[in-house]
């Protein structure tokens, strides 16, 4: 059975949100053990690089373009924005807030990505057409749905019975107390800006260097170099580099293997196939996943706000996907009208999801 490429995109993006939902918990546990904010990302990205380096080298050996000095600069900037700034802001923000709040803040990424992509002409927005209006409304609905889940509870729909294990586990995952919430909020917003900028930058780099795994590996490499440079200035105690608990090891393995390696590779693949906005629009689904899993795994109550938010998120995702589909159909119809001899099926490949084809005049 052959799975259509669009179905693969939806499956991959949904899987990504399950990965990111778990990352909030693992990193919070690691920070609670006292691991350094500078040491954790170094180990995390070294783990990812060990996996991505050989995979990128052998799988894209024949198709990989040559690496120029301009490419190196782009990879360095991707590492700076997508790893150093993104992860650095996140760890400081998470340490001063909570996993729930950090997850909620990330729901601004689709809106920020949509705005950046539209301003840089990576995403076409035609407000005089139904597909353009659908995409805008879809972004608003997904962000709004995640906001409802976060801010509005309403009547209780489901109340689980807490077991002794859950009662002992919940305090570990609790919200941060006696922390600088203002600093945390500022850093988490910087994290969201960095994530949005990273997604849009990846779309730009892939146009010039269409080897997604190689781009991800180089990004990870420069992230390691940058974080090690920062750690050399701020970490003076050599004992800070020692891992003192299995919680720290598990957190590093999860964030390194699942997030920095697997999720990063899947993300850049979805960007190459669906564009920056399409790759980010699924992020609010992460809040819905946490809301649905919390009653069963963490013993939290499930409220009416979760149902309302779920409806908005799912509706928003449908609007964006439908808008992208209609946009592609419109591009094919334009090609047929301009030149009936052209084959729109060949012209409008998956790359048209990023830049819908616009007919140009022949000289």
Q: What is the rounded CA–CA span in Å between residue 126 and residue 128?
A: 5
Among the ranges given (5-19, 156-170, 263-277, 289-303), the one the predictor scored with the smallest mean pLDDT:
156-170
In a domain, 357, yes or no: no
In a domain, 360, yes or no: no
| Per-residue confidence (pLDDT) for residue 301, from 0 to 100 | 62
> Hey, CA dihedral for 11, 5, 103, 91, is it positive or negative?
positive
Give the pLDDT band (50/70/90) at residue 122. confident
The answer on pLDDT for 80 being more than 90 is yes
In a domain, 159, yes or no: yes
| Per-residue confidence (pLDDT) for residue 34, from 0 to 100 | 80
317 is written with which tokens? 């995702």
The answer on pLDDT for 142 being more than 60 is yes
> How far, in Å, are 109, 124, 135, 139, 320 from residue 132 at the CA level?
19, 8, 5, 11, 9
| Per-residue confidence (pLDDT) for residue 82, from 0 to 100 | 94
Overall average pLDDT of the 238-251 stretch: 87
In a domain, 121, yes or no: yes
134 is written with which tokens? 């659908």
Q: What is the rounded CA–CA span in Å between residue 232 and residue 286?
A: 34
Alpha helices in the chain (DSSP H): 5-32, 39-59, 69-79, 86-95, 99-105, 109-119, 130-151, 164-169, 181-208, 212-234, 246-253, 264-274, 276-280, 284-297, 304-338, 344-347
Per the CB < 8 A criterion, the answer to whether 16 and 282 are in contact is yes
**How confident is the model over 310-326, as pLDDT tens digits?**
778 778 877 877 877 77
Instruction: Round the average pLDDT of the chain to a whole number and report it.
Output: 79
| Per-residue confidence (pLDDT) for residue 150, from 0 to 100 | 66
For residue 300, give the 3-state DSSP assignment.
coil
Overall average pLDDT of the 52-58 stretch: 93
> How far, in Å, are 50, 167, 266, 282, 304 from residue 270 at the CA level?
22, 39, 6, 11, 33
Range of the domain at 155: 5-324
Closest CA to 191 of 267, 93, 265, 111: 93
Closest CA to 199 of 122, 288, 96, 301: 122
**How confident is the model over 102-113, as pLDDT tens digits?**
777 787 788 788
The string of DSSP codes covering 214-249 is HHHHHHHHHHHHHHHHHHHHH---GGGGS--SHHHH
| Per-residue confidence (pLDDT) for residue 154, from 0 to 100 | 78
Per the CB < 8 A criterion, the answer to whether 301 and 295 are in contact is yes
In a domain, 56, yes or no: yes
Domain count, the chain: 1
Q: Which residue has the higher pLDDT, 82 or 243?
A: 82
Among the ranges given (114-118, 145-149, 261-265, 289-293), the one the predictor scored with the smallest mean pLDDT:
289-293
In a domain, 196, yes or no: yes
In a domain, 337, yes or no: no
In a domain, 332, yes or no: no
Q: Which residue has the higher pLDDT, 349 or 66?
A: 66
Overall average pLDDT of the 249-261 stretch: 91
**How confident is the model over 157-192, as pLDDT tens digits?**
766 665 544 444 444 444 445 567 788 888 888 998
Per the CB < 8 A criterion, the answer to whether 263 and 96 are in contact is no
Q: Which residue has the higher pLDDT, 111 or 90?
A: 90
């Amino acid at each position: 059975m052959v799975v259509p490429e669009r179905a693969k995109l939806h499956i991959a993006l949904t899987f990504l949100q399950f990965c990111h939902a778990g990352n909030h918990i693992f990193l919070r546990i690691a920070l609670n053990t006292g691991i350094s904010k500078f040491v954790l990302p170094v180990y995390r990205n070294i783990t990812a690089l060990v996996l991505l380096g050989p995979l990128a080298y052998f799988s894209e050996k024949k198709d990989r373009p040559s690496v120029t000095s301009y490419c190196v600069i782009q990879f360095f900037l991707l590492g700076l924005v997508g790893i150093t700034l993104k992860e650095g802001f996140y760890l400081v923000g998470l340490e001063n807030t909570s996993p729930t709040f950090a997850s909620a803040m990330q729901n601004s990424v689709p809106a920020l990505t949509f705005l950046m992509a539209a301003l840089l002409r990576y995403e076409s927005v035609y407000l005089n057409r139904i597909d353009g209006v659908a995409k805008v409304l879809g972004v608003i609905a997904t962000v709004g749905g995640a906001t409802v889940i976060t801010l509005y509870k309403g009547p209780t729909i489901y109340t689980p019975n807490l077991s002794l294990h859950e009662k002992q586990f919940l305090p570990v995952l609790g919200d941060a107390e006696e922390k600088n919430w203002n600093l945390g909020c500022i850093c988490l917003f910087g994290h969201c800006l960095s994530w949005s900028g990273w997604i849009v930058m990846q779309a730009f780099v892939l146009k010039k260097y269409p080897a997604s795994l190689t781009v991800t590996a180089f990004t990870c490499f420069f992230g390691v170099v940058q974080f090690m440079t920062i750690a050399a200035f701020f970490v003076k105690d050599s004992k800070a580099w020692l891992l003192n608990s299995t919680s720290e090891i598990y957190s590093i393995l999860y964030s390194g293997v699942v997030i920095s390696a697997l999720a990063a590779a899947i993300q850049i693949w979805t960007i190459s196939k669906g564009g920056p906005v399409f790759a980010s629009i699924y992020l609010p689904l992460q809040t819905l996943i946490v809301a649905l899993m919390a009653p069963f795994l963490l013993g939290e109550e499930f409220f009416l706000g979760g149902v309302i938010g779920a409806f908005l998120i799912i509706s928003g995702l449908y609007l964006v996907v439908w808008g992208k589909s209609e946009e592609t159909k419109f591009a094919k119809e334009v090609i047929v009208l301009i030149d009936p001899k052209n084959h729109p099926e060949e012209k409008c490949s998956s790359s048209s999801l990023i830049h819908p084809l616009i007919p140009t005049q022949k000289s």
